[in-house]
């Protein structure tokens, strides 16, 4: 871990991504202490459409609600959806990817053909269909975007396991009487953890954008609850007279996904055993 941290610190872009992501996570966790949730949903028509000022850092929207509070509390939902959906798709992908990579055979062929079918369906279209069938709420949104990402995790984990499953130390573990589950958990997964970490950061960034897209289309988090995609949707009609309504939630999406991508690139280099300098 010390060696990985030393190599990671050498990348300025990765450290920038780590700092920005930490700020977003800190803001989401302590949003209620920074500004009460009530200010994000309470309407005040007298203060509607006011530009950024010392009283309202990001201005107010068409209902007089504080945009800073809405972006801040919206980060809770946007980041939660991204992280939880990634965790769900990673868990399922790890289960099937490890099984097909280790056992192979007919099980491998059946599972991978099913993953090919899922991959043939556009991810956004699949998410739209699932949300439309189940209903628009946070839980269904997580399920929808997680399902669409499972095939990618299965393929990556399967490929990583195929690269180590025939090595000598695996054969030695089998000869020593170790069970399949013990071999997978104790001997195989630790050797592909770097691939999983990098893929997880990249996937989280993608799923944050996908959840924002669905909310923008009205199939995600519903008003008046704040979420970055729904904030962009609400700002469309005020694009010319009040462009700041779209700028701030848009910047939040860009910076959060950029930080995750930069951190993922840095982790990929730091975890690469060929880069020891």
Q: Which domains does the chain have, with CATH numbers?
A: 2-36+58-270 (1.10.3720.10)
> Does the pLDDT value for residue 276 go beyond 60?
no
Residues in Cβ contact with 84 at an 8 Å cutoff, skipping those fewer than 6 apart: 142, 146
What is the per-residue pLDDT for 84?
Answer: 93
Local confidence band at 106 (pLDDT 50, 70, 90 cut-offs): confident
> Does the pLDDT value for residue 218 go beyond 60?
yes
Looking at every residue in the chain, the average pLDDT score rounds to: 84
- Asked which of 15-29, 118-132, 254-268 is least confident by mean pLDDT, the reply is 118-132
Q: What is the pLDDT of residues 74-84, one digit of tens each?
A: 888 889 999 99
> Does the pLDDT value for residue 202 go beyond 90?
no
pLDDT over 70 percentage in the chain: 98
Q: What is the pLDDT of residues 162-189, one digit of tens each?
A: 877 777 877 787 787 777 788 888 878 8
Residues in Cβ contact with 4 at an 8 Å cutoff, skipping those fewer than 6 apart: 270, 271
Q: What is the pLDDT averaged over residues 218-238?
A: 82
pTM (2 decimals)?
A: 0.85
Q: What is the pLDDT of residues 8-63, one digit of tens each?
A: 888 888 899 999 999 999 998 898 888 888 877 887 778 777 878 887 788 888 77
> Does the pLDDT value for residue 272 go beyond 70?
no
> Does the pLDDT value for residue 87 go beyond 90?
yes
Closest by CA to 157, choosing from 204, 210, 194, is 194
What is the per-residue pLDDT for 83?
Answer: 92
């Amino acid at each position: 871990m010390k060696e990985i941290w030393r190599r990671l610190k050498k990348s300025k872009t990765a450290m920038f991504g780590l700092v920005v992501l930490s700020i977003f996570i800190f803001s989401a966790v302590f949003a209620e202490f920074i500004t009460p949730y009530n200010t994000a949903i309470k309407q005040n028509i007298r203060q509607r459409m006011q530009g950024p000022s010392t009283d309202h850092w990001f201005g107010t929207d068409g209902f007089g609600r504080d945009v800073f509070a809405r972006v801040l509390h919206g980060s809770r939902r946007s980041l939660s959806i991204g992280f939880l959906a990634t965790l769900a798709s990673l868990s399922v992908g790890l289960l099937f990817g490890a099984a097909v990579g280790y056992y192979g055979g007919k099980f491998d062929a059946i599972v991978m053909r099913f993953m090919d079918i899922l991959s043939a369906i556009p991810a956004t279209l699949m998410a739209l269909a699932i949300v439309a069938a189940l209903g628009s709420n946070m839980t269904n949104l997580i399920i929808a975007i997680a399902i669409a990402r499972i095939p990618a995790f299965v393929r990556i984990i399967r490929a990583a396991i195929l690269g180590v499953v025939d090595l000598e130390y695996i054969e030695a573990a089998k000869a020593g009487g170790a069970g399949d589950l013990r071999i997978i958990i104790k001997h195989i997964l630790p050797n592909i953890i770097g691939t999983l970490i990098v893929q997880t950061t990249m996937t989280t960034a993608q799923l944050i954008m996908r959840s924002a897209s669905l909310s923008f289309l009205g199939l995600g988090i519903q008003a008046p609850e704040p979420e970055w995609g729904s904030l962009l949707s609400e700002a469309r009609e005020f694009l010319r007279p009040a462009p700041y309504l779209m700028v701030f939630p848009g910047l939040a999406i860009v910076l959060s996904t950029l930080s995750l991508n930069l951190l993922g690139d840095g982790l990929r280099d730091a975890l690469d055993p060929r880069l020891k300098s």
